[in-house]
Chains A and B, each alone.
Chain A
């Protein structure tokens, strides 16, 4: 199943779901899985997601066997493309940072999923409950407070109280700088006109101290994702 971490709700997510479905039209692999919307980023709290794509594996008894991890089922073309000469510097610099991400090879990841499906608890990738808990993301008090601040921010944003919302989003960003879902969600409100596809660059604005490129450089592109096989 897929979950869109999107305060924009179905309007923001539906074009992507429709496009994915259309791309698979006539294909035996056409998606039939539930496509859900998490407008309040509840899965951030429940599972410890801090970026997308992230995943968890859940067995037949409703028990996690793999905690939150980066989940790439296809290799991004951005990682392999040659950066063309003459691009605006910010775009070229962004692409250069994307190439530094540490992610599990998509073929290996799919093979690991297949192995778990076939072998269940005997799969080398399935973890015991105590291992899952121990390998889940750290949650010091600052991170818990970041979740509360983000929750207030998005609640106030939906209520139309934008100035107050930005204050709480900024607080969440300060408290948990490595939570990209908090940052990118809030930045998208400032950099993406309503109804349009996302501004992937998420550049500087006068609302936030951070932006995608500068924050990735500050925190290290190699730390942007938590590879699946490094839990």
Chain B
């Protein structure tokens, strides 16, 4: 996740990565990670708590927030993010949730 500044709402950043901020901490599926009190919470603290690397490119000023590594697995839950969507060849957004009720075989490929 590319950020132009760290002065952004940590709840929004967490949500973009599929985490919700609740009384128990940052939660995704059955996993909840305790967080410092609300007053202390910023993006850097959230990132540190979830094991999300925060890289900075000094020349461009950009930040890059990696995925959570707190559980040590690529998946924290078997649930696919409800807002997962990608564009089709013509740029139209396609939401995976539109296939709810059907089995989906999702195959990744590449031209390279």
Contacts and interface: CB of A to CB of B under 8 A. Distances in A.
Interface of A: 1-6, 8, 10, 12-17, 34-38, 42-43, 45-49, 52-65, 67-68, 71, 73, 113, 116-117, 120, 129-130, 132-134, 136-141, 143-149, 151-152, 155-156, 159, 161, 164, 168, 181, 184-185, 187-188, 192, 197-198, 202
B55 interface: yes
A179 B77 CA distance: 22
Given A60-B102, A60-B103, A145 B108 contact: no
Contacts, number: 215
A65 B106 CA distance: 12
Contacts of B29: 133
Interface in B59-86: 59-60, 62, 64-69, 71-82, 84, 86
Interface residues of B, number: 54
Given A10-B89, A61-B100, 13 more contacts: A1-B107, A3-B107, A8-B111, A38-B86, A49-B108, A57-B104, A57-B105, A133-B73, A141-B51, A145-B53, A147-B66, A151-B1, A187-B112
B64, B73, B78 — most chain A CB neighbours (10 Å): B78
Interface of B: 1-2, 29, 51-55, 57, 59-60, 62, 64-69, 71-82, 84, 86-91, 94, 96-97, 99-112
